[in-house]
Amino acid sequence: MKKLYLLILILAGTGFVFAQGNQYSCYPSNWWTGMKWNTVQVMIHGDAIANAAGGFTINYPGVKIIKVQKVENTNYVFIDFNISPTAKPGIVKIKVNKASSPFDIPFELKARRKGNGTDFAKGVTSKDFMYLIMPDRFSNGDESNDRVPGMRDQSLNRDTVFNRHGGDLKGIQNHLDYLQSLGVTTLWLNPVIENDMDNRTEHGYAFTNHYKVDPRLGGDIAYQNLIDAVHKKGMKIIQDAVYNHVGIKHITVLDPPMKDWLHQWPAFTHTSYKDQVLFDPYASKADFKVMADGWFVTQMPDLNQNNSFVANFLIQHAIWTVEEFGIDGWRIDTYAYNDLEFMNRCNKALENEYPRLTLFGETWVHGVPNQSYFAQNNYTIPYKSNLQAVTDFQTLWGITDAMTKDFGWTDGVNKLYTILAQDFVYKDPMRNVIFLDNHDMARFFSVVGEDVEKYKSAINWLLTCRGIPQFYYGGELGLTGFTSPSDGYVRQDFPGGWTQDHVNKFTDEGRTVKEKEIWNHISTLANFRKNSSAITSGKMMQFTPQDGVYVYFRYDDKQTIMVVMNTAKDSKTVVFERFRERIRGFSKMKNVLTGTINDIKELKLETYTSAVFELLK
């Protein structure tokens, strides 16, 4: 076991790092009165903290110590507090009874946010349109935080995709009006938590301090200011959660509390990325372990969520974040690589505290059964996930095939049709997040060969299909890029987000003719969507594709929307008589994007074009 323990220290490039003097840190850094999660496990880290011969005491009305637990590393102690309903906000003094020099560690109890978890953390629904932003690459609103003294990564070079560029939270806040004009209702930001790593810190997925917003993004104050500004405009915000791993410079890696805080191996072991072994009835235990416990990369150690201290650390941080900042939901990174029973516990704890909170997990897998295994589903199987929804990679593969492959029995648009036909496996497919691309994938405009008509057809699908649509920043300009040779090439700066930029594409005047065409297309449909009951909460009916033509409807008692898509290589004339089941009682159809009204008879569509109609009496 000692050899396995040393592996972590070798990979970290350091031995133990001890706190100096009486510098002690509490995790979580504070808590609240009136919480349902009222027994809090506080991890205290500092120089030989566990060696306090006289132990630990408190004297605060309504708060009592339940248990004090010392672990292998004397730099840590875990203290379980019970906070009764009668406890009042204030400073709880944790008395460390060192024989020679006793001292106090302050731990704050705050009053809860107004509404006690019901008036905030509102969650997102199919009525929303979500916009994904990588903060370092969107806009630089505060140049004073571009470099922060003392942090490991001091790069600041916009000429390479591998360094930081200086975008921050203030830059996002400065452009909320722009986002609203586009039709956006919700922001999802790539991680904002501190990533004090040596390099490639722009993406944010290697946390080094869970209780600190990265100061290069503006820190805690800038994050709260952004969230408050977002909510003031009636918009929502999703935070990116990472439970599976941390950065190798995290304090619990540099100075591990215990040997099994992380998943350890005799030699570095990658995860296999084979999600199938998690549900395969014939899978070997060895394959299961490599998938679940293997590391992503050497710089991102894999957390052992079967360790109760780790589990509490992560769950409490999730609750703390919602209460501290008032976010509306979580996108959960690398969902399949977490311990799934732990995830059920974490999800339940969050929903108990915040019943309207949204939780959706990244499930980059192939196949509807694979994907639905990780969400609330209708299967009778040993493991039952309580996750509300997933990032719907399957519909992404479907719309990609529809726009790039010839029509066939299972190919082209038939793949999209077949994937949606399997929605019966989900408890609520309307909660799934649908998308065309993200920060890890080729930009969809490049995938379709920069064909504007194909791109607009895909956007029509995105904004009218069932689910919650998510759009990746810059896609409204038709930004291009592939992930080869590096994912950095799909993480460009938004033109106009820096004072040095020669053009400003946040304004109509700064956009080219092609960019205006794409931008206006999205804005028109997204803003129409806001007030369309059929699209945002109605039912869906699709008809089997024929000869490359795909037609589906979104409808309720108030409205009927018809989407017609031609994915063939030649023009097609669509005769609507086939769809009388849904068009009965209507005589006119209004093109949502152009406003043109025509009789419902037939429609000629050029290759790879589509149209969205509202049916009229």
Contact by Cβ (8 Å): 185, 235: yes
b/e 257-268 (16+ beta carbons within 10 angstroms → b):
bbbbbbbbbeee
Q: Which of 333, 339, 353, 392 is catalytic?
A: 333
Active site residue 47: no
Contacts for 149 with CB less than 8 Å, ≥ 6 apart: none
d(CA 536, CA 571): 30
Six-digit token string for 441: 């994938």
Distances (CA, A) of 33 to 334, 524, 579: 32, 46, 58
Closest CA to 278 of 342, 366, 344, 373: 373
Q: Which of 196, 362, 476, 614 is catalytic?
A: 362
d(CA 459, CA 444): 10
**Residue 82 DSSP SS3:** strand
CA angle 383, 388, 393 (to 5 degrees): 90
Q: What is the 3-state secondary structure (H, E, C) of 406-474?
A: CCCCCCCHHHHHHHHHCHHHECCHHHCEEECCCCCCCCHHHHCCCCHHHHHHHHHHHCCCCCEEEEECC
Active site residue 333: yes
Sign of CA dihedral 569, 572, 576, 577: negative
Q: For 400, list phi and psi in degrees, rounded to 5.
A: -65, -45
d(CA 265, CA 268): 6
Q: Is 122 left (phi over 0), alpha (psi -120 to 50) or beta?
A: alpha
Contact by Cβ (8 Å): 107, 79: no
- Residue 29: CB atoms within 10 A of its CB come to 15
Count of all residues that appear for the chain in the document: 617
Six-digit token string for 335: 């969902």
Q: Which residues are catalytic?
A: 333, 362
